[in-house]
A = this chain, B = another copy of it.
């Protein structure tokens, strides 16, 4: 086995708290516009379109479509379904880009800053490059490199997406570790040969929802947050 040289991170739910971020911006919109939208339900349904919309791209039903555009297709359905009408194009576009403004978990920036001293750190996300770049700038995420499904036009869990991280970094596949809060993402990466680091994010789907079932193949590392992961990795 080679030494790990690079850590690549799943983003939505692993590095940033998408649910609370969408709720917070949505509640500000409620106040501004006199709306009474349940933004927890809105966030869950919006996020619920994520896997099926990418599956349509993977299956060839849609041509390559980046995540901003998939989010927008879903948003255009969700707004009238939640009784939101009369927003301008600029307001809808701004709301769609809430995914560029998601807030990190409390340990994310400090943990990444430590991990960066010892490893190359990058995104490996289904989010598009603009989304990931803008998010990093807004949230202070200190990436060395932005890697995305968009670069190879293959959404995770497509093996091509995982392999691309090693190829772009000029590393062997087992010199790269995927860090994620979702076991399914890690198992798909494991099959391709990446190392895996599981970080528990029990609040991703809100306070009453257990995100990951127990069991399944083990990971190289399991950590409670990024600071714990940094300590385990000697960073």
Residue numbers of A with Cβ under 8 A of B are 68, 120, 122, 128-131, 133-134, 136-137, 144-146, 150-151, 168-171
Q: Which 8 A-B pairs have the closest CB atoms?
A: A130-B170, A129-B168, A133-B145, A145-B146, A130-B169, A133-B144, A151-B151, A137-B144
A170 to B137, Cβ gap below 8 A?
A: no
Q: Name A170's closest neighbour in chain B (CB-CB).
A: B130
Q: Given A146-B145, A151-B151, are A169 and B133 neighbors across the interface (CB < 8 Å)?
A: yes
A120 to B144, Cβ gap below 8 A?
A: no
Which residues of chain B come closer than 8 Å to A169, judged between CB atoms?
A: 129-130, 133
Shortest distance from the beta carbon of A86 to any chain B beta carbon, whole Å: 26
Q: Name A132's closest neighbour in chain B (CB-CB).
A: B145
Which of B68, B122, B136, B146 contacts A170, CB < 8 Å? Answer: B68
Shortest distance from the beta carbon of A201 to any chain B beta carbon, whole Å: 25
Scoring A128, A137, A169, A170 by chain B CB atoms within 10 A of each residue's CB, the highest score goes to A170
Shortest distance from the beta carbon of A78 to any chain B beta carbon, whole Å: 21
Q: Name A166's closest neighbour in chain B (CB-CB).
A: B130
Q: Name A128's closest neighbour in chain B (CB-CB).
A: B170
Which residues of chain B come closer than 8 Å to A120, judged between CB atoms?
A: 133-134, 137
Which residues of chain B come closer than 8 Å to A145, judged between CB atoms?
A: 129, 133, 146
A145 to B68, CA, bound (A): 18
